[in-house]
Each structure stands twice: as structure tokens, then as C-alpha cells.
Amino acid sequence: MKFKKLVIFCITAIVLSCSSDNNGDDFKETENTNFRLTSVQFLTDQALSAVSIRPTHSINYKYDLSNKISQISTNGSVYSVDIISNNLFELNLLEHDLGDEYTITIKRSIHLQNNHVEYIKSESELFNSRKNTLNYYTDSISYTYVDSYISKIESYSKKLSKYELKRKYEYQIKNGNVLKIIDTYVGIKNIRNFNYDNKTKVDFSEFAYRTPLYPENFLDYILIHDKMGKQNINNVSSVFCTYDEDYLKAPQIESVEYAHIFSTNGKIKNIEMSGTVIYSKDNTNYPKSFSNVRTSMVYEKY
């Protein structure tokens, strides 16, 4: 059982971790100058140290000569990005940091229909130094739309020959924005209610904790953020979350307020976050609020 937990941790760490040491982007936009995102950096807070599904490092992007993302690097792991067709993107693990004792293969296939994400399939296989398979995982995420707005995201895990529903997100839309998400995980629920500013939504404004269209696996966000149906009209300004009691055995984000800071090139430079954390009553010493949490974007001219 201990070995199984270690294997699951290793695979999760590779898929969900990321790193970078790039600095800011203090330059001014000139006529006919284009910019592309090269790094996303995350600054977290002690109060979020035990919160699940939270990036803590950075992601780096490389581009090919046609200005398409060709590589994503994440804390010792490197993925190739291959555009197989207009309806299929693939991510394949090229390098990892598990050492010589283990080898892992990871392949994520992003399937689109009418420029909307239809489903994402992930396959992972762990080998020992003798090339024996230790574990094999297959997961799938499906996306459902109503009137071109996202209405449901379902996450499945394959056991034996059958896929089993693991998590479901149900979306409610009002005035062109996601108003509410009902998140059901193994029968327990988390409800998120969103507020928005009055400004037109800008690219990457949801690259942050608990935003409406931020996927479970943030490695995909750069590729699918504009392919999940109609976009929100405005930028999310805050979220408030409520939980079933079983959720609160571990710390959870209760509320977040978002401030979008722009660079001189007109792109989002930082998403600054502050908020509160909720925990079960028998853990009163855990920090109840957080601040100085930030997503930072780094761009380059091309």
C-alpha cells in the first residue's frame, strides 16, 4: 500500500508540477509588435500549503517557427506539444526527474470538435529499471456544451475495462458569465459562486485558483483556455465557496478576490489574490486567511 501511494504521488507530481526562473517583462509595445507568453510563475502562501489542486511552481513554453507552442517544461519534466490536426493535440512526456530506478511515459490527447474541447484522454505507465510495468493509468475528461456555453465537465478514471465517474462540474451561466459551479467529487459537493468586473475579459485572466474555466490539470490551460465554448464576457473579480462537511477534513479555499495588473504591453502581468481558508472545527490553529498569492505572466516579443 505504501508503494502504491508513492507511485500515485510520483505520477501526480510530474503531471501537476512546474518550474521556471524567468523574470518580468518591463518593455513597451511598439507598432506591429506581437508578444507571446513564455512563462507563468506562481507565488503561494502558507495557508494554501495543504490545499489540493494548486500550482506552486512555474510553467515554461517554447514555440516553433510558426509561433505554435512546441514544448512545455515543468519542474524537471518536459512535454512535447504536437498539433496532429485541427481536432487533435498531443502532449508527450520527453524528460522526467524520477531518476534511474523508474521510467514513466505520459501521453495526453486533447480532442476537439468545432474548435471546442470534446474530451481529453491521459495515459500514464510506470516502469522499473528492468522495464517491468508497475502501474498503468488511463483517465478521461469530457466536456458538454449548451448553446456553445460550457455546461458540464466530467472526469473519469479507468479501472479494468470500464471508466468510472470520478468528478463532475456543472455550470450555470447568467448574462454571459459563469455564475455558479456545482463540483461533485465522490458524492460530496463544493459550490462556487462568482462575481465579475465590468470590463471585457482579457486573455489568461482566469489563470488562477478557483476561477471558472481553470482545468484540474493546469498543464492544459495554455492550449484550451479559448476552446471551452463561449468565453465569459467579463473578468472574474471574486469567488465564494461552500462545502459539504466531508470536504472540510482538509483545508479548502473559502473565498478569493482577484486583482488584474497589466504590463506596459497591455497584457496581464499579475493576478493578485487574497482570501480565506475554511477547515473543520477541530483544526482551529490553521491559518484562516491568505494574501500575497500571485500568478505572474512573462512575455517575449516575436
Which domains, ranges and CATH numbers included, belong to the chain? 2-301 (2.40.160.190)
Query: How far is it, in rounded angstroms, from Cα 154 to Cα 156?
Result: 7
Burial of residue 213 (CB within 10 Å: 0-12, 13-18, 19+) is: buried
**pLDDT of 27:** 43
What's the CA gap between 39 and 61, in Å, rounded? Answer: 6
Dihedral sign (CA 16, 22, 23, 29): negative
Q: Which residues contact 87 (CB under 8 A, 6 or more apart)?
A: 111, 112, 113
| Spatial separation of the C-alpha atoms in residues 278 and 252, rounded to whole Å | 5
Give the three-class secondary structure for 202: coil
* Contact criterion met (CB below 8 Å) for 17 and 77: yes
- Surface-to-core class of residue 55, CB atoms within 10 Å of its CB (0-12 exposed, 13-18 middle, 19+ buried): buried
- The reported pLDDT for the residue numbered 129 is 75
Is residue 272 a contact partner of residue 258, using CB atoms and an 8 Å limit? yes
**Blockwise average pLDDT, block size 10, the chain, 302 residues:** 43 43 44 83 76 69 95 90 95 83 89 96 85 83 95 88 90 96 92 96 90 78 92 96 87 92 90 89 71 91 91
One-letter identity of residue 157: S
Return d(Cα 178, Cα 194) in angstroms, integer. Answer: 7
Note the pLDDT of residue 130. Answer: 73
The C-alpha cell at 286 is: 490553521
pLDDT number for residue 296: 93
Residues 6+ apart with CB under 8 A from 104: 10, 11, 14, 93, 96, 98, 124, 125, 126, 127
Q: Of 199, 179, 209, nearest to 273 (Cα)?
A: 209
Q: How many CA atoms lie within 13 A of 140 on its CB side?
A: 12
Lookup: cell for 151: 455546461
User: Looking at residue 199, what is its pLDDT?
Assistant: 94
Q: What is the CA radius of gyration of the chain?
A: 19
Question: CB of 152 within 8 A of CB of 171?
Answer: yes
